[in-house]
Amino acid sequence: MTPLGIDEARNWLSSMVGETVYVHLEVNPEAYIRNVPCKLKDVAVMGDHAYRVHLVLTDPDGLLSISGVTDFVEDGDAIVITGFDTQSRIRQTLTVSRRLLAM
């Protein structure tokens, strides 16, 4: 896995616009979706130190938004975006991948 800066993460996500991707979102405690196929229409990454990521989706139409993320890591055909709580535990993770994620 390769850590990414904010601009690299923004560029990495932008490179997927127009493609069908698979989304995995996990919010602790105990909420997640896995391998949801969708097409990216637009992306936005904004903020300072604790970032917000917005994915505008088509097929199906929708918006996925996650805030309070701090870490961006490239993992092959996927980007893993993570936020931590005040005790350094993973609070939320968003993975956007060009391939199905392992179950």
Domain ranges (residues) in the chain: 2-97
- At the topology level, CATH places domain 2-97 in Protein Yojf; Chain: A; (2.70.180)
Q: DSSP assignment, residue 101?
A: P
> 17 falls in which pLDDT band (50, 70, 90)?
very high
> 3 falls in which pLDDT band (50, 70, 90)?
confident
Give the predicted TM-score (pTM) of the model: 0.91
Q: What is the mean pLDDT of residues 58-63?
A: 94
- Strand, helix or coil at 9? helix
pLDDT score, position 33 = 93
pLDDT averaged over every residue in the chain: 93
Q: DSSP assignment, residue 100?
A: P
